[in-house]
Amino acid sequence: MEFTTINPADGTLLRRYPFQSPDAVDAAVAEAREAQRGWRLLPPEDRAARVAALGLELRSRRRRLAEIMTIEMGKPLREAVAEVEKCALGCDYYSRRGPGFLRDESVEMEDGRGYVAFRPLGLVLAIMPWNFPLWQVVRASVPALLAGNGVLLKHAPNVPRCALELVDLFAAAGFPRGIFTNLFIDLPATGALVEDERVQAVTLTGSTRAGRAVAGIAGSQIKSCVLELGGSDPYIVLEDADLEAAVEACVVGRLLNGGQSCIAAKRLIVHEAVADDFTDALVRRMAGVRVGDPLAEATDVGPLAREDLRDHLADQVRRTIAAGATCLLGGRVPDAPGWYYPVTVLTDLRPGMPACDEELFGPVACVMRADSEEAAIRMANDTPFGLGAAVFTRDLARGERIARDEIEAGSCFVNDFVKSDPRLPFGGVKESGFGRELSGFGIREFVNVKTVRVMD
């Protein structure tokens, strides 16, 4: 058995990567467990120094890493370069702030001493996706490692070279052998690892279906779990919004990474007073997007990552149009090599259509109309997902009220598209998962929050 990687830009075979044998996996896990026993004893400041070095390694290989991502999964090259830099910024942040997040917290006691210590759990299994093949791994692994854990990486099967590059990066930054380990394994072997008593916790970024499966196994074994799953992010455009700025944010939020993002702008809910003007401007802006060779610097949107993903998206659009939606732009698979899908705009949408009820992973903007603020909020929350959301209005107090108190999501932005930031916690509610990555909340997901009481 093996992983087979295909260049999504032209459909050509890149390389085959054989699965590791059960004995090889067992040996790798044993080595990681032994490495973690020593790693956990280092002061957090020493571990943070390795994280800072990782940031330097990322920057020194920025162009090469970006090209590998682009060739394996089709991300436009300039977005891939930006992803490498974001990984480095994440390392900068945790190398500076991480030790402080792990510092003991004293508790005032009437007699003796009491404090809270944050101690590592052990080995964390990181099951990672292909859409941000470096950033997703770095944002999950760096906090876990800095806290004193070891990481076992099970990466997506279409980005194995990215996985190998990450192993090399951690080694070059001075992390001990085995503390960050890549495993080329299939789904049954992954499930067995979740059950393995040497693995103390699991973090997964992926589909809701995958999250249910992993959470079921982890729960049966009483193991910590963080799930960052799918999304159907609503972007509410109110009648007093700056339409030019709102259109730009919605286009960027929808098309970043070719629309292959859990926090992409998937449902554009526009107040009917400005819906016509917004839609006209959106179509003009989307029509000017450059789709093509992802290695070309001028390209805005490359191919989708896999043929099955492109075909699934095309089917969702076809079924949505058949159910009564209007296609104002795109909507047809091109007769050309590669897994390209055109930039598309759909309107006249209503609940029950695939574009409303399912997650669309690709460059498809879906415009819905609302006759009031209250209706827009109801439509925004009428989804099983709850990852990200955005509100556009010139009244900042109004926007902040809606974002803070009304929208059911892990993140809600006012007058901007949703994006992760190392300084802020990231994660979802409802079927978008549970737990948080990034910031101090993320580093404390995989620690034993230990009470220590000392009597004089």
Report the catalytic residues: 228, 262
Helix (H) or strand (E) holding 408: none
> Cα(first)–Cα(last) distance of the chain, in Å?
61
Q: Which two tokens stand for residue 391?
A: 């509100």
Do 54 and 170 meet the contact criterion of CB atoms below 8 Å apart?
A: yes
Do 290 and 393 meet the contact criterion of CB atoms below 8 Å apart?
A: no
Largest CA distance in the chain: 78
Name residues whose C-beta falls within 8 Å of residue 253's C-beta, 6 or more positions apart in sequence: 233, 235, 263, 264, 265, 390, 417, 418
Cα dist from 57 to 61, 63, 65, 89, 209, whole Å: 6, 12, 11, 12, 35
Beta bridge partners of 236: 269, 391
Pick from 35, 27, 28, 22: which is nearest to 192 by CA? 22
Spatial separation of the C-alpha atoms in residues 290 and 394, rounded to whole Å: 30
Spatial separation of the C-alpha atoms in residues 374 and 57, rounded to whole Å: 49
Name residues whose C-beta falls within 8 Å of residue 415's C-beta, 6 or more positions apart in sequence: 241, 242, 245, 246, 249, 390, 391, 392, 393, 396, 399
Sign of CA dihedral 139, 143, 144, 146: positive
